Structure 1
Amino acid sequence: MKQNSVSAQDYASKAKALTVQGDHEAAKAVLLEGISERPKSTLLHLDMVRNALASNDADRAETALEAAKDLGADAEKTLVLDLRLAIARQDWHATADIAQQCLDQGILPVGTVFRQVIRSFRQTGQPAAEEEFTRAFAEKKPEVDSFVLAYYQAVCANRAMEDLPAFFEKRIFAGNGAPHEVLSILVYMRDHAGFSPQLSELLERARKKWPDHPSVKKVLAEVERSGFKAGEAVVISVPEVSPVQSIPLLFAAYKVQLATRGSSKSPEELKLLRKAMEGQFAGKEFQRPLLVDDGTNPVLVSPPGPSGKTILIFGGLRGDVGFPLAMLDMYFATRGVTTVMLRDTHRDMYLTGASPNGATYSEFVTSLKNLIATLPGHEELYVMGISGGGFGAMNVTADLQAKHLLLYSAATNATEPFLREIGDIRAAALQQRLKKIQPKELIDPKTRIMNAGHKPHINSYYSEGQYIDKLHSEDLLSLENATSEMIEECKVHIPFDHLIKSDLFDAQLDVFFA
């Protein structure tokens, strides 16, 4: 009988070429033929595992992996494939356990596997393990920013905020120093939305010691963009002109805001947005002056409107709505609605209020009641929550007995079982802080509304491209008088640009204030 002269390596090379072309089925056929001819080849069995994983066939991957192990395949390779298989099955406990084995053996998986391992630690509530795992990467390859950033995201999630500056100082300046560790300041700014004098001093020391290091320059640029140094705040004050006449002023401010945050929009995008607003406000008049935003005040109150209606707006974790607040306020000023805009100063979804000096949640609610009581002509309360501001909006709706609640891309439930069930691993540092919030009921505002004894009308919207936002929104449907609606063809988390360009926002407000 003539022996097959095609080697296992030949089959593997042919299958690899087909895989590169994206033809996984043809690659699978080649591997099956190879295994039939070379049944004891661990190379082919391991490649079959990879092929099955690429084809989202976890059962076939498991069968091929067991065969490879039985044939004595390299233990390091099979362990990494065990890890990938656990990730494919979304078995986060197994993923975390196998990742720990990899770490113990000095195996550091990279790319998508690395990110999914981090997800497993968050899903299973193991921030200390996440910190240990990411530190190994950061210390082995400090020149890779993504590894260092991942490590400090774990650190910020696992340690008390007040302890972080001293920890950063030790990491940055111990021994001969490590300039890449200055990225810790960048993570702190992003996760905690703050820049303390201690961090400013650390960054200045790093700048003097390593003025040309890429990591130091990167953090300095981000600090300047984020406005933690003087000069960024843009006061938007529109004179007494018609809405259409005010639009050029607002768009000039919008461009400044985009620039200071390192963001951009194409001239065509801005042109479409501006054209849409000009059409929506044609023939309308302001019934009160616009809200003035100095860029820092945690509580902003517009001049009173004549309608008797007041809207409390809870901005997201960045403290705003994605574009100048005065631009949003145009929609309320032309309706005669009084606007009260709140910023999440402490990045805790308003669970300790919006005061820069700190407060308990109950003190925050009392301050809002007192504020509303002073508003001239106030008769009816409306509440709006955006992104992380959904929490403050829902809790205050329960406590102030508001009858109307409008939500956009809102976080609505931060209980651990719910977050794990839907796979919400966003804002890891925040999730850790929320575990310490008292009373615990505040992280489940839906239940608080249900128990409050009144039944507010709730309109919740989420973007078509945002699956986690969809699950948060639909969680509200167990409440009476709640609706959840997808914003079609919108792929971004904060949807206002799309809503305005599509003439949807004005229509939604007509329904809300009816």
Structure 2
Amino acid sequence: MDSTEHTKKKRPASQVDKGAMVTETLNSARQYLKSGRVADADALIATLESKRWGGLKTMRMRAAVQKALSQKLEHGQTLKRIAEDENRAPSDLFRLAAYLIDNGDVEGSRAVAAPLEGRTDSQHLLLNLAYLEGLRSADLDIVRTALFGLLELDVPPPNLPELHIVLRELPKRDQDVLADAIKTKWPDRAADTADGSAARQTTIPQQHAATLAAAGKVSEGQELLATGREADEELRQALALIPPVEARLRPSIEDDGASVIVSPAGSSGTTLMVFTGLADQAMVPIECIDAFCAAEGHSVIYLRDTSRSLFIGGVPALASDYLSSLASLRAMVEELGTTRLLCFGSSAGGGAAIRYGLGLSASGILCASGVTCGRPEFLEEHTDQRARVVIRRLQRSFVTAELDLYEEVAANGGRTPIRLCFGTGSSTDVAHANYLEGLPGVSLNPLEGLNRHGSFSRMMLEGIFQEFIADG
């Protein structure tokens, strides 16, 4: 028998070329997604789809693009088609199950994940789903058990949204044990274990870049953002607007991670009170905000919510309740010689800026993607799944009226103007802003084309923040 009969037949050149082209195109699309160039990734996948090339691999990349574009319905439909394919992988079932959890269909998620039960190669996927399910139901026992289980396995960092929030909600002993294990096993997630914002700033490129720019090293900060990502490019442009050190009329603050930081007194008579979000920043490091205020000669009071109560129960470092905290803040404002008080809050700090701003009779309030209502029915209606473990605790700890700003804003009668900024493509932020629409003194400032929660960079680029703090 001729030896060539035992030689494996080579694929036709056209098939080799096609396979190589699919691989190259998918790799390019993956890189585009990683760098934030979603439109370019979308175009590449559309090319493969038009040729009906790539099969499941192309469908998986299509699902990733849809997720990046916030196309929830289409994303779910694609994940379902993939999961129904006979050549699906366990990870395909995981992605669909995770999608269903995120959209409130826990029973559907369990049904999808059922084939993974008992498989040794899927144990980490089931534990990851348990984490996500526990996060949605705000069951810290489930979340804790899932985390410890994942850390016992030899797996890469799994899908663990809001890990830094979860760790802070756990008992101190569990925090310490998990933090040490995460730093060792998943060093890429070490920033989530950092105790305090200062440590997180040095590990998150965007935060580090902004901190450098605030210190006068704008070019150095911008270099860190040369990724091609849309969000990074927007921040890179915004950093160029930060006033240089020599233009500032008072010394800048140094963020040591304290819960209350008061700047040196300015000369303008204006004081800005800043309420940070759950990440202990105002979407940018507070040094960035301070640079703008120092250039105007304003004083600033920076507040962090170490109790993770959205400041509803007071400012922890000042008092144990709202009214006592209000009195302490009023005294601080007077000590700075304030003739005009402004309040600013981002994300979870937005609601606090409104509540305390009204209580202190501020001259103006500005919110960046602020939270305005924490009622369970409101969050369910608008599928706001953020920080569920925190929100569920607050719903148990405070009466419903304390979670809702509507009546307080209405009672103010428009005496204090409130400006709400939000991205038009971020549905939860749109819902929170619309909740107060029409009330006296409330103005909505939609940021067109912005499809993410982080809105402060856009507010800088459009001059909204600068206009807010400018002397009237």
Which range, TM-score by smaller chain? Answer: 0.5 to 0.7
Which stretches in structure 1 are left out of the alignment for 5+ residues? Answer: 1-19, 25-83, 89-106, 208-215, 236-244
Q: Secondary structure at the match of 1:249?
A: coil
Match in the other structure for 2:199: 232
Cα deviation for residue 156 of structure 1 reads 4.5
Residues 153 and 328 of structure 1: CA distance in aligned 2, closer, same or farther (over 3 Å): same
Is residue 273 of structure 2 the alignment partner of residue 305 of structure 1? Answer: no
Match in the other structure for 2:7: none
Amino acid at match of 2:431: L
Q: Which is bigger in relative contact order (C-alpha 8 A, separation at least 6)?
A: 2
Is residue 450 of structure 2 the alignment partner of residue 475 of structure 1? Answer: no
Match in the other structure for 1:121: 104
Residues 266 and 322 of structure 1: CA distance in aligned 2, closer, same or farther (over 3 Å): closer
Amino acid at match of 1:507: E
Amino acid at match of 2:130: Y
Work out the CA distance in 2 between the residues paired with 1:145 and 1:466: 31
Is residue 418 of structure 2 the alignment partner of residue 458 of structure 1? Answer: yes
On the 8 A contact 2:315/2:325 being kept in 1, the answer is yes
Q: CA RMSD, aligned part only?
A: 4.8
Please give the per-residue CA displacement for 1:311-360, whole angstroms capped at 9, x wherever unaligned.
11111221102333122112212222211111232333222334269833
Please give the per-residue CA displacement for 1:46-99, whole angstroms capped at 9, x wherever unaligned.
xxxxxxxxxxxxxxxxxxxxxxxxxxxxxxxxxxxxxx99x88xxxxxxxxxxx
Match in the other structure for 1:200: 176
Match in the other structure for 1:330: 291
On the 8 A contact 1:442/1:448 being kept in 2, the answer is no
TM-score, normalised by the number of residues in structure 2: 0.65
Match in the other structure for 2:38: none
Amino acid at match of 2:407: T
Amino acid at match of 1:316: G
Amino acid at match of 1:301: V
Which of 247, 252, 256 aligns to 1:285? It is 247
Match in the other structure for 1:154: 133
Residues 153 and 370 of structure 1: CA distance in aligned 2, closer, same or farther (over 3 Å): farther
Which stretches in structure 2 are left out of the alignment for 5+ residues? Answer: 1-47, 53-72, 78-89, 203-211
Residues 252 and 441 of structure 1: CA distance in aligned 2, closer, same or farther (over 3 Å): farther
Work out the CA distance in 2 between the residues paired with 1:263 and 1:201: 37
On the 8 A contact 1:131/1:151 being kept in 2, the answer is no
Match in the other structure for 1:217: 185
On the 8 A contact 2:97/2:110 being kept in 1, the answer is no
Q: Secondary structure at the match of 1:333?
A: helix
On the 8 A contact 2:421/2:455 being kept in 1, the answer is no
Is residue 275 of structure 2 the alignment partner of residue 314 of structure 1? Answer: yes
Residues 199 and 135 of structure 1: CA distance in aligned 2, closer, same or farther (over 3 Å): farther
Q: Give the number of aligned pairs.
A: 383
Work out the CA distance in 2 between the residues paired with 1:234 and 1:217: 21
Is residue 237 of structure 2 the alignment partner of residue 272 of structure 1? Answer: yes
On the 8 A contact 2:373/2:432 being kept in 1, the answer is yes
Residues 341 and 144 of structure 1: CA distance in aligned 2, closer, same or farther (over 3 Å): farther
For residues 322-361 of structure 1, what are the structure 2 equivalents within 5 Å? Answer: 322-355=283-316, 359-361=320-322
Cα deviation for residue 298 of structure 1 reads 1.4
Match in the other structure for 2:354: 394
Match in the other structure for 1:497: 457
Work out the CA distance in 1 between the residues paired with 2:380 and 2:138: 21
Work out the CA distance in 2 between the residues paired with 1:357 and 1:136: 50
Mark the structure with the bigger radius of gyration.
Answer: 1
Residues 23 and 364 of structure 1: CA distance in aligned 2, closer, same or farther (over 3 Å): farther
Is residue 216 of structure 2 the alignment partner of residue 249 of structure 1? Answer: yes
Residues 383 and 121 of structure 1: CA distance in aligned 2, closer, same or farther (over 3 Å): same
Amino acid at match of 2:299: T
Q: Secondary structure at the match of 1:494?
A: coil
Q: Secondary structure at the match of 2:296?
A: coil
Cα deviation for residue 362 of structure 1 reads 3.7
Residues 112 and 171 of structure 1: CA distance in aligned 2, closer, same or farther (over 3 Å): closer
Cα deviation for residue 365 of structure 1 reads 2.9
On the 8 A contact 2:365/2:419 being kept in 1, the answer is yes
Q: Secondary structure at the match of 1:317?
A: coil
For residues 18-97 of structure 1, what are the structure 2 equivalents within 5 Å? Answer: 21=49
On the 8 A contact 1:148/1:183 being kept in 2, the answer is no
Match in the other structure for 2:339: 379
Residues 484 and 273 of structure 1: CA distance in aligned 2, closer, same or farther (over 3 Å): closer
Work out the CA distance in 1 between the residues paired with 2:285 and 2:309: 22
Residues 112 and 197 of structure 1: CA distance in aligned 2, closer, same or farther (over 3 Å): closer
Is residue 379 of structure 2 the alignment partner of residue 419 of structure 1? Answer: yes
Cα deviation for residue 420 of structure 1 reads 2.6
On the 8 A contact 2:418/2:441 being kept in 1, the answer is yes
Amino acid at match of 1:114: A
Work out the CA distance in 2 between the residues paired with 1:184 and 1:347: 23
Residues 230 and 248 of structure 1: CA distance in aligned 2, closer, same or farther (over 3 Å): closer
Residues 488 and 505 of structure 1: CA distance in aligned 2, closer, same or farther (over 3 Å): farther
